[in-house]
């Protein structure tokens, strides 16, 4: 499949590109700026321009699936959270509906299920992530929503835990590489369609965890 | 009907209380702070405490309808826009569904239909208002969404224009008093259920405009 990665220059996006290629997909890396093209190519992706606050439509040409992992980042304000993490995500979902791109994996966040229960500084972000995920869930797309716990840059382990009841707690960490590997595996695991999956570091090999062996 | 006004101390909320009483309703004014109780009573409302970032559930006791006109205001940041205008509104909608309070009028904003077409500084606000209104529309409630143009503190005229194609343009103004009067009239006009109504200052008497005489 041709898989468009929205946010290809982010922490998880960078881990996604080579893993999609390894899994036999054609990764397209959608970034805001041509200066990021080289980095996308270096990781095995075809770079394309897309602006989540403007035009990104051509970046989806030919895509069979989308992995959304764009975020306005921690250094911008809640205004960008509204425009990118929420409205940008909604617009990409709507564009996929319009174009018949049926498969959509969204990287959300632990805590998005109940934003007011989260730490106060994170709550506005969690509201945005929740509302974006709700829009995807209510769409006609085949969606999977991943809610990883705190992200690290540690090397991937190839193993995770999907424990829905919070084994390990919300403070458990997970390497970005393992979140990316899980997103890739979701594309090839039909039973993840329609699911919202909490994701922490763990000891179950990713494919087995997604097949229900966790 | 007992009508709970969420945001009773805001510009439109203050105009709503006496107009609801004049129309034969029992207005309940929901405010964040007990220091605002006196002002609510002065305008004919029964004051109750409700915190849109915390607990507001008791404020809805006995309500038959809700008018939502709360907003975090222009002096706070987009983080409060996410927590109050969006998440607070969603939570009030959900509470009404849980309690069987079927009638809900939301004061939204012109431009919420296409936030990216709005002036850049307003866009995050328009995204929040749009997503809140979508949540209401997708609920089981009997909803009416009002999208007024720029608000003024001028005296009410009792007349408006509902021109959907933007007669007068998005820069046309409307007194808060006329927005409030329109919200009250919506409660008594079944044909406004399920409608999103653009509202500007105009020359058609409000009841007639809502009956389709505009």
Q: Across the interface, do B82 and A138 touch by the CB < 8 Å criterion?
A: no
Please report which helix (H) or strand (E) contains residue B161, including its range: strand B159-161
Annotated catalytic residue within A48, A125, A178, A181: A125
Nearest partner of A29 among B134, A15, A204, judged by Cα: A15
Over residues A124-152, the mean pLDDT reads 97
Write down the pLDDT at residue B165.
Answer: 47
Buried b (16+ CB within 10 A) or exposed e, A140-153: ebbbbbbbbbebee
Chosen from B57, B79, B111, B114 to mutate, greatest number of chain A CBs within 10 A: B79
Residue A169 in this model has a pLDDT that exceeds 80: no
> For residue A131, which residues of chain B lie inside 8 Å, CB to CB?
86, 90, 131, 135
Q: How many CB pairs under 8 A join A and B?
A: 60
Residue B195 sits at the chain A interface (C-beta within 8 Å): no
- Interface contact flag, A83 B131, Cβ < 8 Å: no
Contact at CB, B124 and A82, closer than 8 angstroms: yes
**Does B138 sit within 8 Å of A82, measured CB to CB?**
no
pLDDT value at residue A172: 82
**Per-residue model confidence as pLDDT tens digits over B168-212:** 566 689 999 999 999 999 999 999 999 999 999 999 999 999 998
Structural domains of chain B, with CATH: 2-213 (3.40.50.720)
Confidence category of residue A165, pLDDT binned at 50, 70, 90: very low
User: Is the Cβ of B87 closer than 8 Å to some Cβ of chain A?
Assistant: yes
Q: Select which of B37, B68, B104, B125 is catalytic.
A: B125
* Tokens describing residue A156: 């991937």
Separation CA B52–CA B74 (nearest Å): 17
**What are the tens digits of pLDDT across the range B84-139?**
999 999 999 999 999 999 999 999 999 999 999 999 999 999 999 999 999 999 99
A93 φ, ψ (degrees, to nearest 5): -60, -50
Chain A positions in Cβ-Cβ contact with residue B80 (cut-off 8 Å): 124
Classify strands A103-107 and A65-68 as parallel, antiparallel or unpaired: parallel
CA A13-A17-A18 angle, 5° bins: 135
Annotated catalytic residue A125: yes
Q: Which of B154, B136, B124, B153 lies closest to B193, judged by CA? A: B136
Q: What is the mean pLDDT of residues A132-139?
A: 98
Q: What is the pTM of this model?
A: 0.95
B153 CB neighbour count, 10 Å cutoff: 9
- Condensed to tens digits (0 to 9), the pLDDT of residues B28-65 reads 999 999 999 999 999 999 999 999 999 999 999 999 99
What's the average model confidence in pLDDT over A169-183?
89
**pLDDT grade, residue A170 (50/70/90)?**
low
Helices (H) and strands (E) in chain B, counts: 7, 11
């Amino acid at each position: 499949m041709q898989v468009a990665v929205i946010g290809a220059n982010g922490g998880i996006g960078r881990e996604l590109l080579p893993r999609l290629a390894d899994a036999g997909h054609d990764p397209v890396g959608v970034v805001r700026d041509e200066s990021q093209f080289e980095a996308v190519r270096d990781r095995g992706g075809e770079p394309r321009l897309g602006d989540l606050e403007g035009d990104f439509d051509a970046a989806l040409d030919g895509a069979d699936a989308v992995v959304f992992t764009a975020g306005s980042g921690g250094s911008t304000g809640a205004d960008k959270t509204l425009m990118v993490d929420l409205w940008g995500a909604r617009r990409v979902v709507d564009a996929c509906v319009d174009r018949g791109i049926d498969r959509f994996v969204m990287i959300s966040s632990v805590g998005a299920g109940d934003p007011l229960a989260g730490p106060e500084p994170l709550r506005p972000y969690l509201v945005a992530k929740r509302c974006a995920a709700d829009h995807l869930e209510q769409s006609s797309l085949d969606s999977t929503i991943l809610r990883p716990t705190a992200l690290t840059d540690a090397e991937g382990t190839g193993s995770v835990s999907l424990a829905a009841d919070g084994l390990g707690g919300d403070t458990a960490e997970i390497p970005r590489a393992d979140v990316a590997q899980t997103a890739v595996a979701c594309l090839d695991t039909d039973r993840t369609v329609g699911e919202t999956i909490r994701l922490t570091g763990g000891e179950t090999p990713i494919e087995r965890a997604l097949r229900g062996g966790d």
